Each structure stands twice: as structure tokens, then as C-alpha cells.
Amino acid sequence: MASTKTKIKKNWLQTILVEGRQHLENPGFDPDVRHSFLRALECRTPALGRRVYASENAEAVFCNTCKSPACTVCGHWATIQWQRERWCALPEGPYKGITFTMPDTLWPLFAANPHLTRELPRIATSATTIYGKVYKGLDVGVMPILHTFNGKLEFNSHVHALVFAKDLQEPSQSRDARSFFRKDLIMQSWKKFVIALLRSALRAGRLVSTLPKGELEHLLRREECRWWNVHIQCFKGKEHFLRYAGRYARRPPIANRRIQSVSNGLVSFWYTDKRLKRRQIVVCTVAEFIDRWAQHIPKRYRHAVRHCGIFASRRWNRVAEAAFLLSGQIRRPRPKRLPWNLSVRRLSGRDPLIDNKGCRMRFVKHLSPVAA
């Protein structure tokens, strides 16, 4: 929630949604994405209801927030909450970060087939857990996070995975911190599973594509013979990955600060070109921007983060105490959710629940939503 009196920077993404409202109402637009966008439009307005707080000296009314995955403000706060929870749930120690990528020729296939894209975290988990059991004789915990966008909001499907096991770095091989995993074996499993997923969908007639069936089969055979890049990183702790992955787990695909202007039906935003190592400007229509943005908004009730292997909920509840004990740590209790007024205080430097005389206001009642 945010105070109606608090000064907040202009929300460019809400401006884009207002200008593209007619595009959102098209019958072919995804209803789940439309719901997320409309909720983001109503964020911090009376349309979502209000709460009344009062002290002996003053009374204030605050509008509810939307909790939508398309909202930058709610996404930022949800990221902080998620990072705090994962920080307490996972033990300290060595971790691996594995990035599973694929050739860019396959991106359009997954962009046109979201039901197949949702299978990529499971495939990345299978490639990792099978390797751990077959080559190391260990159960590993995997937290895969699907990442579908690049700086230009184009579709770029790949998976980031945090991996935890008892002995991720063997003493005899400590000079090479990546020795626990052989990149080539992990890559072969990942490639094999992805190609098998696409081929089975093609043969079942469930692969949507503009290419004819013969060309699709030729494409799969060609990509099956290529080298796919699988990047393995080593972390002494969990902090780096949680900070990095939080941007994909809870936040929208583009930050409000990257929008430069919205005028005459055009949107201008910047991104960092990693090859040129400088900022580049992208200009597109409002409708095109919304379509780029929409393809990265998760479906309702879909989890952006999965927990597999020993991280799976039922297994982790049984082995978590042992994992913390073996690492010489004490398991922290799940942290309480941070109060909403703390987020406003971080943005404005002022606690909205403190009145002009320094007294704290208390919750009084709810007010029903007001139709726009």
C-alpha cells in the first residue's frame, strides 16, 4: 500500500497501459495477461479498496496495492520479500549457478508455444539431478528459474538454476571449482531433452509454427548436432544468485526507469548492449511494446520459481535440519513479511503511519473498492 499523499515518480508503464487500453481489449489478447495489466493500472487507487488509519490527532486513508506481476512497484517489494524468505530457508555453503541456453533459432518455437516453454525448468532440473545421481551418486537440490526476455524485451528462453549438494567442490579438485559438473555432459542431457520435447510436440501436431513440418524436422536435426552453451558458475554463498535471480522471479521484465518517453503513440526505452558495452535506444509503438511485454508475464497461478530434488517442499522439510546441522549452522525461522509502510518509508524517507505530531496511527477499518 502507499499513501495518497506520498510523492511517487511518474509510472511510465501505467501510462503505456492507459494509451494501449484499446489494444488490451482485443478479443485475441491473453485474458490472464489482460487481468495482470488491468490490476497494475488500478494499483494504489480506490478501485482496489482502501484502509483507514487514525491517531488521536489525525486520520489518513491509504489505497491498496495490486500485487500484479506486471507492476513495477509491487514487483520490487515482492522481490525483497522473496529474497528474505529464501535467505533464511537455504543454508550457507558452496553453490553452483548453471545457465542453460539454446540456439536463437529455437526461440520463436518456444515463444509461439508457451506450454512447451513452461517445461524448460523441469528439463533443466532433470539434466542436473540425473548427472548428480549417475556420476556423483548424490542427490542435489535445484531451484530453476525460467528467464524469457532480453534487454529489448525480445523472447530469449533460457533457465537459471541454483544447485546445492553435500560436496559441490571436492578437496582433491579444488583448483577447478567447476569440477563437480562436467559441462559437456550437462549440455548433452539438456540438448537431448529439449530436442525430444520439440520433436514429440511436432509429431503429435501440438507445435505451433509458421514453418512447414519438413523444415521443422530439418531444423531440429541441425540444432541437435550443434554445441549448446551451458555456463557454470561457482558461488561461496547464496547471496549473489538470490540478488540476481530475484529480478526474474518477481519483477516485471523492464524497469520503469528504462522508459525514456511515451508520446505520439511511440515508446522509447534503453537497454545495455553487452557486445558494444553501451546503451542503445529502442523505439516502438505502444501496441508493439505491450505485446513484447505481455509475452513475459506469467499465467495466473503459475509459479516463476520451482524447487526440485532435495529442495522439493516435502523432501526439504525432512532433510533441512540435517543439511543445516552438517554445515554447522542453525536453521533460521521463516521471516515475517515486512509491513507495507516500510516500503513507502524507503521510497519517501518518511513513515506514512506517523502523524504530524509524531504519534503512530493505527488501523481503523476497510473501505470498499470504488468503481472507476
What local confidence, expressed as pLDDT, does residue 331 receive?
86
pTM score of the predicted model? 0.87
Helix 183-203 to helix 213-224 angle (10° resolution) is 170
| Helix/strand/coil for 141 | strand
Please give the pLDDT value at position 303: 81
Backbone φ/ψ region at 142: left (φ over 0), alpha (ψ -120 to 50), beta? beta
Q: Between β-strands 59-63 and 50-54, what pairing exists: parallel, antiparallel or unpaired?
A: antiparallel
pLDDT, position 247? 81
Task: Give the domain ranges of the chain.
Answer: 2-70+336-367, 92-253+302-326
- Give the three cell numbers for residue 48: 482496489
**Strands (DSSP E) along 38-154, which ranges?**
50-54, 59-63, 95-100, 141-149
Per-residue pLDDT of the chain (372 residues; tens, 9 = 90+): 444 444 446 789 899 999 999 999 999 999 999 999 999 999 989 999 999 999 998 999 999 999 999 998 888 889 999 999 999 999 888 888 999 999 999 999 999 999 999 999 999 999 999 998 888 888 889 999 999 999 999 999 999 999 987 665 444 444 444 457 889 999 999 999 999 999 999 999 999 999 999 999 999 999 999 999 999 988 888 888 998 888 888 888 999 999 999 999 999 999 999 889 999 999 999 999 999 999 999 888 888 889 998 899 888 888 888 888 877 888 888 899 888 888 888 877 889 999 988 999 999 999 999 876
